[in-house]
Structure 1
Amino acid sequence: MPYDPGTVLDAGPSAGADPDAFVRAAVAWHFDPATGSRFWLDRAARLGFDPRQDVKGVADLALFPDLTHELRTVPAADLVPRGYGDRAGLLNVFDSGGTTGDPKRVVQLADWMRHSTEQVARGLRAHGLPAGAPWLSVAPTGPHLVGDVLTRAAASLGGPALGVDMDPRWVRKLAAAGRTDEVAAYTDHLVDQCRRVLVSQDVRVLAATTPLLERLAREDDLLDVINSKVEAIVWGGTHMDPDTRFLLSTEVFPDVPLIGMYGNTMMLTGLIERVGSSASDPCVFDPVSPSVFLSVVDPGTGAPVPSGARGQVVVSHVSRSMFIPNNAERDTALRVAPAAGQVGDAVADVAPMATVAGTTVIEGVY
């Protein structure tokens, strides 16, 4: 099967491709010996079913076991589908945050980077973010996906992205050891860097985590600067509970729209908050067919929870470049009907699980 960029697999998210047909094409690609990656071809025999025969559509992604734990040690080159030949365009190898153990790794190829950037920018434009405006992004960079997503989002809207890097693994390590004074000192260090940028630059979009927004709000001078010139705040990384969201939206930053972004490394992108919600409404994130599917399940049985009930979030990423089905996330959420044209569940009021596989989840600053 030669690499044909005109096939359904290159339609990209929200391009109108039939999700079931897309999933069938992706499975055919990833499990064909001529085009699949070493990772999936090596594991095909122990799945207990034949993906190319038994996977008929989106619902059958549940047949796959969650093998993301194996991404902690697999060589990154084994994740690249051989069907690309010399046209893979390998841009990045990203690590997960390591919240529940050693980091997992994924690859970002040029085609998926383009699709991801387009869908994130589309979501931000729907919220009315200013075009050509400078951003300040306070997020993990280096091996972490989110910094790349935010930088490309700013560029896609025509604005420069100024950045303040953070190291979430170090902060989690400090927090786990009870070294709260050092966590506070590191957070102060981030705030000092933000101050230099916010005061000297005409920042119109601020992207930061909930703990950083709360910390910035304690600085009267920065609060005045943000409320006087920032036109939108994009928050993500750590969760934001409904009370905090309401307080930040109505009292702390009353004239600056807060826009949530939910994503992670295994998703390989970010989902932008549904347009039209008030500060008192649940913050809802929709799937992005045909590449990012969400489901909310009972963590004990794996069965879908009733609509409006809380369960564990399961994410499947399906694209030409990567295939990560049935990944049980460290998050819980309320199950919500998706927006028109999307397949699977939407999620609302995302929050971390207390423990995952016996490991306590520590969010820290991210």
Structure 2
Amino acid sequence: MAEHDGGDFVREMMQWHFSPETGSPFWLKRAQTLDFDPLTDVRDFEDLGLFPNVVDELRDVAVRDLIPLGHGDAHAAGVYESGGTTGEPKRVMFTAEWHRSSVEWFSDRLDEHGVPRNVDWLSAVPTGPHNVGAMAVDTAALRGGLNFALDLDPRWVKKLIADGRMDMAGAYTDHLIEQIGFILSSQDVGVLFATPPMLERLARHDDLVELVNRKVRTIIWGGTHLDADTRDLLRDEVFPQTRLVGGYGSTMMLGTSVERPGLGDDEPCVFDSFAPYTTFQVVDPETRQAVPYGERGQIVVHHLSRTALLVNNLERDFATRIAPPTDRFGDSVADVAPVASFSGETVIEGVY
């Protein structure tokens, strides 16, 4: 990356994804349907708007076709799925190279927040086909800790809520809280990685709140939105002995963004992306034009790496557009909240 508009980086990624020697079968075939030539017409970040949003195709594409040929047999790819909030799950793959870079970047951001190293983690986040669980395991290990995990199936909770079976959804969440209690009471946990609904449910149990305040030095939250009032309550009243650090990510981002360090308690939670690989734009959903800084719009995500090309992805979230850190591309986002419906489906967050 040499120039400020990111042109060198974008052109390098176009060469990688659309050269027969290095591109993926998916994009090499898809290029034949485009009305532009990515190798000559895509010169900078603005030109990414030429691409169609292909994420819905990831519900049934052969995942092996997503692996860039340039990685050869050394890709060591992991397959991950979306939460299925807006229909059948979509699938992406992370090469070992990208997963390692994501974990290292995430860990560096935690250092900026003063999150302790050499402590064990309790991760109340989805595992199985969801990448956030794998990130928790490897980030804890990179930082010298063990990771205690739960079996957390977000799709089951969303299905129960959609069917109006709130009693069963509550029972399942109680089952998860019980597992958290087993670990908190018996292990020295220094970092709790959990979704906001899990933290809110945890807050109802005075004995577990006491354990968190006594043992846990940082709570990392993410996966669903957390409004400012609830965040203030959790930080100041429920868990005053810990530090709260937010994350905003999704499978289609192939990773996460992290709360900007150094913000005051009265400032909104601002998320900075892993630029230039993952970048945000905040746009008017009708015109797809950028809204002014400080205004709200829908989030568009671009992912560009040697692992994947997923650009122009209109996310199911609205946010306030914030200027990015100096010399970074795209937008930062604040006050992220989901839309009521997306792609014709009601958005149900559940526990994730």
TM-score, normalisation: structure 1: 0.94
Structure 2 residue corresponding to 1:84, chosen from 55, 58, 71:
71
Q: For 1:77-116, what aligned pairs fall within 5 Å after superposition? A: 77-90=64-77, 92-116=78-102
Aligned to 2:15: 28
- Secondary structure of 1:85 counterpart: helix
Q: How many residues align?
A: 352
Letter in 2 for 1:290: P
Asked if 1:299 corresponds to 2:301, the answer is no
In the alignment, what sits opposite 2:211? 225
Question: Structure 1 vs Structure 2: percent identity of aligned residues?
Answer: 53
1:53 to 27, 40, 44: 40
Residue 252 of structure 2 is matched in structure 1 by 266
8 A Cα contact 1:313 1:328, kept in partner: yes
1:162-184 Cα offsets, whole Å, 9 max, x none, are 11121000000000010000011
> For residue 144 of structure 1, what is the aligned residue in structure 2?
130
Does residue 210 of structure 1 match 2:210? no
- The answer to which of 188-197 and 253-262 deviates more is 253-262
Structure 1 contact 36–83 (Cα < 8 Å) conserved = yes
* Larger mean Cα displacement after TM superposition, 171-180 or 55-64: 55-64
Q: Deviations over 1:154-200 (max 9, x none)?
A: 11211111111210000000000100000110000001000000000
How far 1:16 moved relative to its partner?
A: 10
Q: 1:209-243, CA deviations, whole angstroms, 9 ceiling, x for partnerless residues? A: 11110111110100101011110000000100011
Q: Which amino acid aligns with 1:36?
A: G
The match for 1:236 among 205, 215, 222 is 222
Runs of 5+ unmatched residues, structure 1? 1-7, 9-14
Rounded Cα–Cα distance in structure 2 between residues aligned with 1:113 and 1:18 = 26
Q: Contact conserved, 1:136 with 1:207, CA < 8 A, in 2?
A: yes
**2:306 maps to what in 1?**
320
Distance in 2 of aligned mates of 1:16 and 1:123:
24
Q: Secondary structure at the match of 2:79?
A: strand
- How far off is 1:45 after superposition? 1.7
Quick one: structure 1 residues 17 and 204, their matched pair in 2 at CA, closer, same or farther if it must change by over 3 Å?
A: farther
The amino acid across from 2:41 in the alignment is D
Distance 1:173 1:211 in 2: 16
Q: CA deviation at 1:205?
A: 0.4
d(CA) in 2 for partners of 1:329 and 1:254? 33
CA deviations over 1:251-302 (Å, ceiling 9, x no partner): 1111211100110001111111000123321000012222011000011110
**Following the alignment from structure 2 to structure 1, what is the Cα–Cα distance between the partners of residues 6 and 102?**
17
| RMSD of aligned alpha carbons | 1.4
Displaced runs of 4 or more, over 6 A = 15-18
Letter in 2 for 1:318: L
Q: Deviations over 1:335-356 (max 9, x none)?
A: 0001123111000011101110
Partner Cα separation in structure 1 for residue 242 and residue 6 of structure 2: 36
**CA shift for structure 1 position 46:** 1.5
TM-score, reference length from structure 2: 0.97
